[in-house]
Amino acid sequence: MDHLLRCHPITGDNFVRGENCDLFDDQGRRFVDLESGSWAAVLGHSHPRVNAALKAQLDRVMHLGVRWPNHLAEEAAVAVLGLVGEPDGKCTFLSSGSEAVEFGVQAARRVSGRPLLVTFANSYLAAFGSAGAKPAAEWCLIDPLEWAADPERCLAAIPFEQVGGFVFEPGGGGPTFGRFPAGALVRAVAERVRAAGGLLVVNEVTTGLGRTGRWFGYQHYGLQPDIVALGKGLGNGYPISATTFRREVAEALERSGCHHAQSHQNNPLGCAVALEVIETLREGGWIERAERLGAWLLGELQRLKARHGCIRDVRGRGLLLVLELDPAGPCTGTPLQAALRERGFLVGCYPAGYAAGTGVRVDPSLTVEEQDLARLVACLDEILP
Ligand SMILES: Cc1ncc(COP(=O)(O)O)c(C=O)c1O
């Protein structure tokens, strides 16, 4: 791996085949992928239905010019808009989650006429662009910890009358590390932004498509967004993302003269995959299962916490779970990740955020085998002092 740019850690592993939650390396060794790739393979690797749809579309047409989106883009738009509760809305398909969020961010600025947006300080949002860099001139950052300490003071510091939108990430980004924003905070910010004429943009790149035991993370907060960004799970690993708009917002954006054309926008291959993913998730009841299985796993992790003093916290929603260890204790996140890997489990451990390197993250496919999770719990019990 000498010719891959090292802009983030790269291991020497060579995974050559995937089947549901299993990854096999070039030596034939099996690993249980409890990160679903980059939290994207909600239906597991090489899902037969998704792969069949992909192969069938490959032989029809995989790419069209941006002026000629075909019926699949319209059908996928109808499916996605139905899911986000805006059947009359409009949608565009892009390739990555970062693009979908950034497009939603730029659209909110354009429609509201205000460049200033608000988000939580620990939101990830995107790898680049304004949403990635969050320059102070364009973003007001609300720290959930400051809000918890003094809600009035924290919100009084935000010039809501100048804010064009609230870009809400309902958990899921690396820096949030399994911390889901408090409902009272989310609703207070959303109310103030909307009262001042701003828009509610929700980043569902990680939380969307069932990860938290509901179709979308915002559904835990009783909100109806104006703009939603989707990615990851929408293609089950195939790079397709989407930005959806409430009809009036879409029309205001169109009237504003917004011109946004990208080579792979609304591409038929991605749209065929997205349609199949949505149908398969719906028909298989996988999201309801994720809620049940996640609650069971959280309970098991809580039982481990009672037995192992080095566990500081366990938390999660659906199949997005975090086990946080005492940073001063005998075992922290990085060695635990390595020990689990030796036993055939791949889990996440990230250096950034409120819990830097102190814990591991478990985000399996919604199709994960229950017995693999039970084996994980047994392994943790054995490894942890
Ligand atoms: C919460 C969240 N938003 C946005 C993104 C960006 O998506 P992508 O990596 O597909 O650009 C990520 C990626 O991990 C994410 O976790």
- Going by C-alpha positions, the residue among 249, 234, 121, 105 that lies closest to residue 165 is 105
Probe residue for ligand 1, chosen from 35, 98, 227 as the CB with the greatest number of ligand atoms within 8 Å? 98
| Per-residue CA distances from 309 to 16, 254, 349, 374, 385 (Å) | 38, 57, 20, 21, 8
User: What pLDDT is attached to residue 352?
Assistant: 57
The confidence score (pLDDT) of residue 328 equals 85
The tokens describing 153, both together, are: 């003071």
How high is the pLDDT of residue 350?
73
Q: Is the pTM of this model over 0.95?
A: yes
Among all chains, which residue has been given the structure tokens 């239906």? 43
The predicted pLDDT at position 356 comes to 64
Amino acid at 368: V
- Residue type at 278 in one-letter notation: I
Best residue for ligand 1 mutational test, from 38, 95, 205, 262 (most atoms within 8 Å of Cβ): 205
Can you tell me the distance from the alpha carbon of 109 to that of 122, in angstroms, rounded to the nearest whole number?
21
Quote the pLDDT of residue 142. Answer: 97
Torsion of CA 129, 172, 180, 373, to 10 degrees: -170
Decide whether any atom of ligand 1 lies within 6 Å of the 181 Cβ.
no
**CA 381/CA 113 separation, integer angstroms:** 54
**Strands 227-230 and 241-245: what pairing?**
antiparallel
CA distance linking residue 206 with residue 330, whole number of Å: 31
Task: Report the 10 Å Cβ neighbour count for 109.
Answer: 18
171 lines ligand 1 (CB under 6 A): no
Question: What pLDDT shows up at residue 361?
Answer: 93
CA dist., res. 63 & res. 68, Å (int):
10
Domains and CATH numbers, the chain: 15-33+285-383 (3.90.1150.10), 51-284 (3.40.640.10)
| The pLDDT of residue 338 | 94
Say which DSSP state 78 is in. Answer: H
- Give the residues of the chain that fall short of pLDDT 70: 351-357
Query: Is 97 a pocket residue for ligand 1 (Cβ < 6 Å)?
Result: yes
Measured CA to CA, the distance from residue 248 to residue 50 in angstroms comes to 33
pLDDT in tens, 144-194: 999 999 999 999 999 999 999 999 999 877 777 888 999 999 999 999 999
